[in-house]
Amino acid sequence: VNSEGKVKMKLSLPDVQYDLRPGIVEFRAGHPDLALLPATGVLQATQVVLEREASQALSYGAEQGPGCLIKQLCAWLEHVEGERPPLTQVMITGGASQALDMICMLLTEPGDIALVQSPTYHLALRVMRDHHLELLPVPSDDEGLRVDALEETLTLLQRRGRQPCMLYLVSTFNNPSGITLTLERRNALAELAQHYNLIVVEDDVYYKLWYDTPPPPSIYSLTPSGSAIRLGSFSKILAPGLRLGWMLATPKIVQRCMKSGVLDSGGGLGHFTAHVVAAFIELGLLDQQIKTLRATYRERRNVLVGALKDHLPKECHWLTPQGGFFVWLRLAQGMDSTAFLQTAEDAGVSYIPGARFFADGGGDNYCRLNFTMLSLDEIEQGAHRLGKVLYNYL
Ligand SMILES: Cc1ncc(COP(=O)(O)O)c(C=O)c1O
């Protein structure tokens, strides 16, 4: 309040979404390592675009995404996964979140039932809730989504005359559990989807970030009937600020999305950025970047699971994730990770409480720990602090 009695407020306009609090080891983040964001490569790619194709790159873009990126992406997917998607089955998106939002907007109606894996990416649940979908959870175990439970749910819904609008799952290196759906279950799910005419939305943003062995083929590639939609993103393998990703789906779904009013009016999403990413791939920088990320994150994952083993009470449990960004930690039975968070933060360590990743409650004694954004020392320090407060509590 100044001398004239007026209230002056300092407006805080943050630049970025994360909030790194001094003195706290932030296991709660879900971001790539800031130091590994490839500024030099993006600069190099941008220069190529502006010198070579400025007028195309700075124009309104084609609704499907620019041909230069679609072609680069298909060739790159063939090179890393062994299968080249047909050009008609690819669409450039504003990241996986925007793609999910677009799918909900164009392929669902408010009040529709969406089946969601439990646990699953908490912010995808928010996107689906924005579209007023009724979320019905399907449980998972150590092999990923329980396809037997899915079949029971589908049978029950069919008896009631309800057709779910989709199943959403993070099939590979799940956020938050780190678990990958086994090949056997992928095949079973593909069959079930075909039988029940179920659209499977496979959010696959971590697929390329494997640390031990490559994951099994995507559900999309195992579902020739075309009932699967696969979402990819440059957020985790290149930079989230680019807001760019892709979707693989039947030509019919791609066409439906391309014909949306917003793309008709404004042209393809992230058009300039898409040119830059195409040049980035063309320069061979994406493979190089992923190689660096995998080596760095593998080491961080190893340090985190080692430190948890050294510092946490024996009542805690976790599986070593084979890729992705997270360790899914189960605390002692009966502990409430939401209530415990304040105690942990007072001791200088943070996480996301497990309950956020369940559409229907549950997961109370779980915590999601991120290891990609922290240095090896921070990871060690964070596990040490967490262990100390857990021992005190127990
Ligand atoms: C499973 C999953 N899907 C989607 C996203 C967000 O992807 P994008 O940045 O491409 O919107 C995340 C980010 O944390 C994620 O973990």
Q: How many CB atoms lie within 10 A of CB 83?
A: 12
- Protein residue with its CA nearest to atom 7 in ligand 1: 96
Which atom of ligand 1 is found nearest the CA of 30?
14
206: nearest Cα among 163, 165, 237, 238: 237
pLDDT tier for residue 249 given thresholds of 50, 70 and 90: very high
How many angstroms does the Cα of residue 49 sit away from the middle of ligand 1? 27
Q: Count H helices, E strands: the chain?
A: 13, 13
How many angstroms does the Cα of residue 1 sit away from the middle of ligand 1? 42
Cβ(121) – ligand 1 distance below 6 Å: yes
- Sign, Cα dihedral of 286, 292, 294, 300: negative
Mutate to test the pocket of ligand 1, among 118, 121, 202 (most ligand atoms within 8 A of CB): 121
Token digits of residue 369: 């720990």
Q: pLDDT for 204-232, tens place per residue?
A: 999 999 999 999 999 999 997 788 999 99
Cβ(322) – ligand 1 distance below 6 Å: no
Rounded alpha-carbon distances, angstroms, from residue 62 to 145, 248, 268, 328, 377: 37, 17, 5, 41, 46
How many angstroms does the Cα of residue 235 sit away from the middle of ligand 1? 7
How many angstroms does the Cα of residue 266 sit away from the middle of ligand 1? 24
Q: pLDDT for 107-130, tens place per residue?
A: 999 999 999 999 999 999 999 999
Q: Which residues contact 362 (CB under 8 A, 6 or more apart)?
A: 118, 119, 137, 355
Question: Comparing 15 with 304, which gets the higher pLDDT?
Answer: 304
Q: Rounded distance, CA 310 to CA 293, Å? A: 25
- Report pLDDT for 19: 83
| pLDDT for 9 beyond 70 | no
Which atom of ligand 1 is found nearest the CA of 96?
10
Token digits of residue 237: 């393998």
Where are the extended beta strands (E) located within 6-133? 25-26, 90-93, 113-118
Residue 305 near residue 320 (C-beta atoms within 8 A): yes
- Report pLDDT for 2: 67
